[in-house]
Amino acid sequence: MAGIIKFGAYIPKYRLGPETLGWNSRSERAVANFDEDSLTMAVAAGLDCIDDIDRGKIDGLIFASTTPPYAEKQSASIIAEALDLRQDLFTSDITGVLKCGTSALRSALDSVIAGSCQLILVLVSDSRQAPPRSDVERNSGDGAVAFLIGTQNVIAEFDGFYAVSQNILDNWRSSNDPFVRTWEDRFSTEEGLYRVLQAAIDGYLDKHGLKPSDIDKLALYAPDYRRHSSLAKTLGFDTSQIEDPMFDSLGNTGAAFALMMLAKTLETCSEGQRVLVAAYGDGSDVLGFKVTNQPLHNENSLLVSGYLCSKHVLENYETYAKWRDVWEMDDGSRRPTANSPSATAIWRENEKNIRLYGSKCAACNYIQYPAQKVCVNCQAIEGGSNIRLSDQPGYVFTYSMDYIAGTVDVPLVITVVNFDCGGRLLCMMTDREVENISIDMPIDMSFRKLRVVNGIHNYYWKSIPKRGLRDERD
């Protein structure tokens, strides 16, 4: 039986919350750092999901987002390289609608059931931008979720599907729009959200001969807490059956929202329980799952609950506004525009910069980065092998801070990282508080955006302090 083998998530470290000056909201929402986007968050969720999986067995990757970095270029291929997946891989992007995440999950399940793929990684990520200090901005959040789909060691069996298609302009964003647009609230709610989700969930229950009381948990999409609560009652479900939408701690993560709730549900569900996930956007997708007796294998993963607890609240709204270019902010610097990255160099250096390969000497096992033809330790020529450093734990050997480099996040912190497996790397540090940086600080590597010039998104790996439950070195 096809279903979910493993799942993972990623929620950015930073939050806008009641303590944030200028935020003016009692709710808290997750916000991506200045060097994060939907693609980098998808990579982080993917790492959280496949940390102990043989990556050579994954033969498909589907990326879903309403906010991909490129309008014409596949993001899934970049993610596949950053995750060091094999090259004879099926990759696909699904975008353009809020329910693209469930569409991606359904496509993966269909492919596995049909036998065209054995193991597919589904990544759903969004970082939607709304007008400053609007209700949509207050209720939104950034994040990503990952599901590994297959037929062996399934923790949640696929138990059915029902879909409704509805052309309605309630939420949209045209190609030149910086912000999500919304139509009049009552029309969007009554003719869109309530009516469509009611039809979709009723259709699913009728198709499979079920009643609302037969469902143990419902991961239900809604744009805000008020409509989420009202919709759940309208649909005939008890409060205990509804998964917490996390509006007060995370926010609506767009295409990843309903699936983020599904991941949180699977953290605590027990054998035999039925779970429904209902997404919305130009219609609705409803997917059903039945939890099996297979144990979760996420010992090294923070999962949704761990990422929610691992956070840092921003002091003021202006920091977030600067990260997102919400409005022009003149910092007084007059620096020349950065040079455009070379497409040829990006292609040529994929293994070094995207897969983050170092080399391991065949003669003495010495590890070095970047990969070299001659071992600096024993001077052996050739004969080495690639070693992936992106998922290797490490620590800060030394660091420096540059206050005049012109970075968005002053100061620019440069770290020399020693990996526990061997090898050393010079890189930037992000997601850091300057007062907490120290020698021997445990770190992880994180795939981030360096800059965007001439429409080219230039990505590389940076060090970050270990988060939450993984903040101590063995």
pLDDT of residue 334: 54
**Using an 8 Å Cβ cutoff, are 355 and 86 in contact?**
no
DSSP 133: T
Distances in Å between the alpha carbon of 407 and those of 313, 338, 452?
A: 21, 11, 13
pLDDT of residue 219: 97
CATH number of 3-324: 3.40.47.10
pLDDT of residue 98: 96
Out of 94-108, 178-192, 254-268, which region has the weakest mean confidence (pLDDT)?
178-192
pTM beyond 0.85: the answer is yes
Share of the chain above pLDDT 70, in %: 96
* Phi and psi torsions of 5, nearest 5°: -90, -45
Q: Which residue has the tokens 């929202």?
A: 257
Neighbours of 72 (CB within 10 A): 6
Domain ranges of the chain: 3-324, 358-470
Which residues lie across from 157 on neighbouring strands?
Answer: 3, 290
Distances in Å between the alpha carbon of 9 and those of 41, 82, 134, 213, 417?
A: 9, 16, 27, 29, 25
**Using an 8 Å Cβ cutoff, are 391 and 445 in contact?**
yes
Mean pLDDT of the chain: 92
- Report the run of H or E that residue 105 belongs to, with start and end: helix 100-114
Residue 442: name the closest of 397, 399, 396, 400 by CA: 396
- Residue 357, amino acid: Y
Tens of pLDDT, residue by residue over 381-423, are 877 899 999 999 999 999 999 998 778 889 999 999 999 999 9
Out of 29-43, 66-80, 125-139, which region has the weakest mean confidence (pLDDT)?
125-139
Residue 213: name the closest of 136, 133, 145, 274 by CA: 274
**Using an 8 Å Cβ cutoff, are 277 and 286 in contact?**
yes
C-alpha span between 473 and 471 (Å, rounded): 7
- Residue 160 confidence (pLDDT) above 60: yes
pLDDT of residue 249: 95
| E-only strand ranges, 156-216 | 156-165, 171-172, 181-182
- Residue 376 confidence (pLDDT) above 70: yes
Three-state DSSP state, 199: helix
Three-state DSSP state, 374: strand
- Residue 472 confidence (pLDDT) above 70: no
**Rounded mean pLDDT, 70-93:** 97
**Using an 8 Å Cβ cutoff, are 278 and 201 in contact?**
yes
Helices (H), 72-162: 75-82, 100-114, 135-139
- Residue 328 confidence (pLDDT) above 60: no
Tens of pLDDT, residue by residue over 97-120, are 999 999 999 999 999 999 999 999
Pair of tokens at residue 362? 């065949």
Pair of tokens at residue 286? 């409803």
Share of the chain above pLDDT 90, in %: 80
CATH number of 358-470: 2.40.50.840
* SS percent in the chain: helix, strand, coil, step 5: 25, 30, 45
C-alpha span between 407 and 438 (Å, rounded): 21
Residue 384: name the closest of 372, 402, 370 by CA: 372
Distances in Å between the alpha carbon of 33 and those of 54, 235, 431?
A: 30, 37, 7
Q: How many secondary structure helices (H) and strands (E) does the chain include?
A: 12, 22
Tens of pLDDT, residue by residue over 343-353, are 888 899 999 99
